[in-house]
Amino acid sequence: MKVSTRVEYGLIALTDIAINSENGNAVSSADISERQNISQKYLEQIIIGLRQGGFVRGQKGSRGGYVLSRPADKIYLCDILNALDNSILADVAENGGEEAGGIRSSVNSCLWDKLNGYMRRFTERMTLADLISEYRDNSDKKENYMYYI
């Protein structure tokens, strides 16, 4: 499966906002862009989708930027994916299922429909809080390594 950079960067940006706004401060797109090495212009387009999806809200002023609009454990991965690219979790359309002895229909129902269902159920259970937790677990492991030369 191929995920667009829009979705990948959207997940990264949303996770960055969640982590860096925990103390109540808004996170600027310039800071996200610098930390995550994402073009600020492209990031702004992605953030528009995150705002329209109801995941972040903007704060104006000298300390302006973005904060989560609801707790990270209430933001589900399936909702983020649908907001950024609604084709990821879309059902596979049956085109000409009767052609070639119904092979296409069989492949769709046996493989693609089931795979899509598994992915939908997985993303319905995973939250932004899970991504944050995974990030922190990986960060802790990296910090514990000691290298000697």
**Contact partners, residue 87, CB within 8 Å, separation at least 6:** none
Q: What is the CATH number of the domain that holds 119?
A: 1.10.10.10
DSSP 52: H
- What is the pLDDT confidence band of residue 140, given thresholds at 50, 70 and 90? confident
Query: Which ranges of the chain does DSSP label H, i.e. alpha helix?
Result: 5-20, 29-36, 40-52, 77-84, 103-107, 113-125, 128-143
Please indicate, yes or no, if residue 109 is contained in any of the structural domains: yes
Q: pLDDT tens-digit profile of 36-94? A: 999 999 999 999 999 999 999 999 888 889 999 999 999 999 999 999 988 877 655 54
- Reported pTM: 0.80
Structural domain total, the chain: 1
**Host domain of residue 50:** 5-143
Please indicate, yes or no, if residue 148 is contained in any of the structural domains: no
Judge contact between 58 and 66, C-beta under 8 A. Answer: yes
Please indicate, yes or no, if residue 16 is contained in any of the structural domains: yes
The answer to whether residue 125 scores a pLDDT higher than 70 is yes
Amino acid making up residue 134: E
| Confidence (pLDDT) at 86 | 80
Token duo for residue 143? 């910090």
Please indicate, yes or no, if residue 149 is contained in any of the structural domains: no
Cα separation, 126 vs 119, in Å, equals 11
